[in-house]
Chains A and B, each alone.
Chain A
Amino acid sequence: MPQQRFPKVEILSIAPHAISFVLSETDTSMANTLRRIMIAEVPTLAVDLVEYSENSSVLNDEYVAHRLGLIPIRYTPEGSMKGGDCHQAFLPHRECVCFDRCPRCCVEFELDVNFDKVNPTRPDQERDLPLTVTSRDLVCRPPMDVGMSLNATYTRQMQISNNILVAPAHFLNEEEQDESHDEGISIVKLGPGQHMKLKAIARMGISKEHAKWCPVAVATYRFWPVITINEEACNMLTLEQKQELVEACPDRILELDEITGNLVAVENAFEMATFTEDLKVAQDAMKKRPEDDDFVHVVQSTDRFVFSVESTGAMDAEDILLSSLRVLKDRLNYLAAEVEKMKD
């Protein structure tokens, strides 16, 4: 179709928990839409319902339930090493046809920590100190004894490995794990005589409903800086003046070429450029007349964006990007069908 754009993507770096890329030849509206979808509409898993058997800890039920909800939960597809998108394996609870809960829409975790039972097994120096209940204690069990419900045979057969493949994302990466004092995300601390026993049910949802379902810690984009250096005007500057311009900019986006003595933009200027007013002020001071051309002109690009996406650990960063594109595509298809329906 005539007015389609053909954007380009160039990846700058990929780590499991972060991705940085350049999106070009498209409009800010597309960049902003992708950003908004990554923050608000990518489906993930998070604890949504907590059933308590015992809670004699110092934090009350709702407090602990709130903390459990914020723990990022990671789904690893069967036979894969890395974490994946949960939308293929799970249904949102409201769309599921089951009576109450089933392995297709929910994942059950159990947590049972009793200070008095664990204490004797601890090493001597830690004994009798407060015991931290962490996300490691959240254990996933396939649904057993659901024979109480109407479709008992069905649920027994549905003890899919879905449940074994889901686990809290305890740490973002190895470094964090090495630096931490705990084994995982700390939930509550228990003292002598305190016991916490609960069942946590995780469901799929989007961040628009509650921020616990947000897969990203940060999803932002900056504009690519377009740096134009006016060679003629620069030739009229002395070396000291050029050095002054290089130092005027706090981001250091300019440098002096050693051989020719000309002002050139630094190679990674796009990463550094944030604030260029100082440069402008320094140039205005050097100009003979205020209406002269600028020596160096920096402006934001209207069609090139540098994205930076950091995950919470629930999904890999590249999966978040792909998932957001899929969500956008599904949304557009849905709207296209609705417009067709309305035309009739």
Chain B
Amino acid sequence: MNTPERSSAFILDDDEEKIEYAADTKVSNAGTFTFNKEDHTVGNLLRMQLLRDPAVKFAGYMHPHPLVHKIHLKIQTSTSQVAPAETLSAAIEDLSNETDHLITQVTDAIDKWKKENTDMMGM
């Protein structure tokens, strides 16, 4: 009766936006992004990539409650020239390029393995 649909873990509600932003009132150059219907899969990946950016002073994510499907990602940059949203875009782009690189690497590795191993079978 009260059970939410399983699909509500990954399908956005009608009134929800995917990403919401709230600038931090007490700290300069900082803000918290809320990703709706996301979990550690994307959160940890983005956070670790943000930590590699020299313009990022602080990056952390949390999943406030396991039954509520959203994550908070807080980013603070070291200068006011760079906005947190820009570092986030850069991080996503880097990860996207890394994934493309991985796709080519995996397809090449699979082709290479198949070639080497079907040669051995002498077919």
Residues of A near any B CB (own CB < 8 A): 1, 3-11, 14, 21, 26-30, 32-33, 36-37, 40-41, 94, 206, 208-210, 318, 321-322, 325-326, 328-329, 331-336, 338-340, 342-343
Is there an interface contact between A6 and B98, defined as CB atoms closer than 8 Å? yes
Q: With the chains together, A21 CA to B106 CA distance in Å?
A: 9
Choose among B10, B20, B92 the residue that contacts A336 (Cβ–Cβ < 8 A).
Answer: B92
Selected A-B contacts with CB under 8 Å, 19 pairs: A1-B94, A3-B49, A3-B53, A5-B94, A7-B101, A10-B109, A11-B109, A14-B110, A26-B102, A33-B44, A36-B41, A206-B10, A325-B102, A328-B99, A329-B99, A335-B18, A339-B19, A339-B92, A342-B19
B80-122: contact bitstring with A at CB < 8 Å (1 yes, 0 no)?
A: 0000010011111111111111110111011011100100000
Contact partners of B100 in chain A: CB under 8 A: 329
Is there an interface contact between A40 and B41, defined as CB atoms closer than 8 Å? yes
Chain B CB within 10 Å — which of A21, A30, A326 has the most?
Answer: A30
Contact partners of A9 in chain B: CB under 8 A: 102, 105-106, 109
Contact partners of A4 in chain B: CB under 8 A: 94, 97-98, 101
Is there an interface contact between A322 and B92, defined as CB atoms closer than 8 Å? no
Contact partners of B85 in chain A: CB under 8 A: 339, 342-343
Of all A-B residue pairs in the complex, the 9 with the closest CB atoms, nearest first, are A29-B48, A11-B113, A3-B52, A4-B94, A36-B41, A9-B105, A338-B18, A332-B96, A33-B45
Give the residue name and chain of the A residue nearest to B56 (CB).
Answer: A3
Is there an interface contact between A94 and B11, defined as CB atoms closer than 8 Å? yes
Is there an interface contact between A318 and B99, defined as CB atoms closer than 8 Å? no
The minimal Cβ–Cβ distance linking A219 to chain B, given in whole angstroms, is: 13
Residues of B near any A CB (own CB < 8 A): 6-7, 9-11, 17-21, 35, 40-42, 44-45, 47-49, 52-53, 85, 88-103, 105-107, 109-110, 112-114, 117
Choose among B20, B42, B99, B112 the residue that contacts A325 (Cβ–Cβ < 8 A).
Answer: B99
Is there an interface contact between B41 and A37, defined as CB atoms closer than 8 Å? yes
Contact partners of A11 in chain B: CB under 8 A: 109-110, 112-113
Q: With the chains together, A114 CA to B29 CA distance in Å?
A: 72
Give the residue name and chain of the B residue nearest to A37 (CB).
Answer: B41
Give the residue name and chain of the A residue nearest to B88 (CB).
Answer: A339
Contact partners of A33 in chain B: CB under 8 A: 41-42, 44-45
Q: With the chains together, A26 CA to B94 CA distance in Å?
A: 12
The minimal Cβ–Cβ distance linking A326 to chain B, given in whole angstroms, is: 7
Contact partners of B99 in chain A: CB under 8 A: 325, 328-329, 332
Contact partners of A41 in chain B: CB under 8 A: 10, 41
Choose among A1, A27, A322, A334 the residue that contacts B97 (Cβ–Cβ < 8 A).
Answer: A1
Given the contacts A7-B101, A322-B106, A29 and B96 also touching, CB distance less than 8 Å:
no
The minimal Cβ–Cβ distance linking B121 to chain A, given in whole angstroms, is: 13
Is there an interface contact between B95 and A332, defined as CB atoms closer than 8 Å? yes
Is there an interface contact between B89 and A336, defined as CB atoms closer than 8 Å? yes
Given the contacts A6-B98, A40-B41, A208-B9, A335 and B35 also touching, CB distance less than 8 Å:
yes
15 further A-B pairs in the complex, CB-CB below 8 A; given A40-B41, A210-B6, A342-B20:
A3-B53, A9-B105, A26-B98, A32-B44, A36-B41, A206-B10, A318-B110, A322-B103, A325-B106, A332-B92, A332-B96, A332-B99, A334-B18, A336-B89, A339-B88
Q: With the chains together, A41 CA to B95 CA distance in Å?
A: 18
Contact partners of B112 in chain A: CB under 8 A: 11
